[in-house]
Amino acid sequence: MSQESILIRLQAVIAERRDTKADGKKSYVASLLEKGVPKIGAKIMEEAGEVVEAAGESGEAGREHLVKEVADLVFHTMVLLCHAHIDFADVEAELASRFGIGGHEEKAARQGPKKPNE
C-alpha cells in the first residue's frame, strides 16, 4: 500500500469525479460538485453542527461518533476545495506558515496594524 496521505488520495478521487463525466449513475461527489457552493456549503454547515453535537457525547461511543463526524466534515471540505480548484497542498502550506506562531499573533498579523484609536 502507498504511503501517500489519505487526504491526497481522496483529493485525487474527488478531482477525477469532477473532471470525468460519468455515464449513467452519478456519484455522490459528482452530484455535489454539479450543485456547487450552495449545496456543498449546506453539507459543510450540517456536518459542522454534527461535529459539535458529537463532541458533547461521552465515552468510547462519543469518541467514535466524533471521529466519524470530523471525517465527514473534512470530506465535504475537500469537495469544496476541489470545486474551487484548490489543492489540499495549499491548505497544508498555509497551516505550515502558521505553525509555531501563537494564535493571537497570527490573527493580529492577518488584520494588519491597529489604528491609533483601537
Q: For residue range 81-114, what is the model confidence (pLDDT) as tens digits?
A: 999 999 999 999 999 998 887 767 767 777 766 6
Query: What is the value of pTM for the model shown?
Result: 0.81
| Burial bucket for residue 76 (CB in 10 Å: 0-12, 13-18, 19+) | buried
3-state SS track over 35-63:
HHHHHHHHHHHHHHHHHHHHHCCCHHHHH
**CATH code for the domain in which residue 32 is found:** 1.10.287.1080
Q: For residue range 4-43, what is the model confidence (pLDDT) as tens digits?
A: 789 999 999 999 999 987 666 789 999 999 999 999 999 9
Whether residue 22 is contained in a domain is answered as: yes
User: What's the structural domain count of the chain?
Assistant: 1
Whether residue 99 is contained in a domain is answered as: no
Number of Cβ within 10 Å of residue 11's Cβ equals 19
Name the maximum alpha-carbon separation found in the chain. 62
pLDDT of residue 61 exceeding 70, the answer is yes
Cell digits of residue 30: 459528482
Whether residue 63 is contained in a domain is answered as: yes
Whether residue 83 is contained in a domain is answered as: yes
